A and B are shown apart, each in its own frame.
Chain A
Amino acid sequence: LAKTTQPISMDSYEGQEVNITCSHNNIATNDYITWYQQFPSQGPRFIIQGYKTKVTNEVASLFIPADRKSSTLSLPRVSLSDTAVYYCLVAQGKGYSSASKIIFGSGTRLSIRP
């Protein structure tokens, strides 16, 4: 199973761009990279998913270099409401019963200040 490493915590200010990097050195060919966000007293919520290069949606961008050994979640112009824990997951995409390979790590606790 591909292990992920993220910073334990990060601080930033409103209006700034925040980049959270995740390392996954032993990522496998069939693995996808997924990010979830968790607010206090809530369950995690899907943010973005990618396999290679760059993916962008209305919430964030995900940058994945060619070797796929790391990925960066980019949050543009953060606000106080972006304060949350962000999880990077590397999960197998192939195989009918691949769900058990989905492992949430410790996450990055992002704190946004005014």
Chain B
Amino acid sequence: DAGVIQSPRHEVTEMGQEVTLRCKPISGHDYLFWYRQTMMRGLELLIYFNNNVPIDDSGMPEDRFSAKMPNASFSTLKIQPSEPRDSAVYFCASSLRQGLLAGGRPDTQYFGPGTRLTVL
């Protein structure tokens, strides 16, 4: 299995530009997560999907951020317009199941390599 795939690995853009990050979860996984990691705030959960449906987006910082999952094998995280404070490493993760379907325990999350975003 190729694991979780993210693209691009690095993105440098200018303030005000639109940025789209892409993720391909592990085949067969029902859950997909988007995280953001910075030195100041650590690893933050932004949003997660279950069977392609957004379940909790309470971690999305602003309306400039949006995420979609058009099918089970692809998700995007879009920032429009981007700002310098959005500079961070963005991780995508997937897991097979959660909660009751996982025997009542949090299931293992498999992380991608991340996208390092720099907004100038």
Contacts and interface: CB of A to CB of B under 8 A. Distances in A.
Interface of A: 30, 32, 34, 41-46, 49, 51, 87, 89, 91-107
Contacts of B93: 43
Interface string B25-62: 00000010101000000111100101000011011000
Chain B interface bracket (under 10, 10 to 19, 20 to 34, 35 or more): 20 to 34
A96 B100 contact: yes
Contact of A100 (B48, B95, B108, B113): B48
The binding surface of chain A is classed by DSSP as loop
Interface of B: 4, 31, 33, 35, 42-45, 48, 50, 55-56, 58-59, 91, 93, 95, 98-102, 104-106, 108-114
Nearest to B9: A41
Contact of A43 (B59, B106, B112): B112
A27 B105 CA distance: 14
Contacts of A42: 111, 113-114
A99 B99 contact: yes
Given A43-B93, A43-B113, A93-B99, A99 B104 contact: no
A60 to B, nearest CB: 14
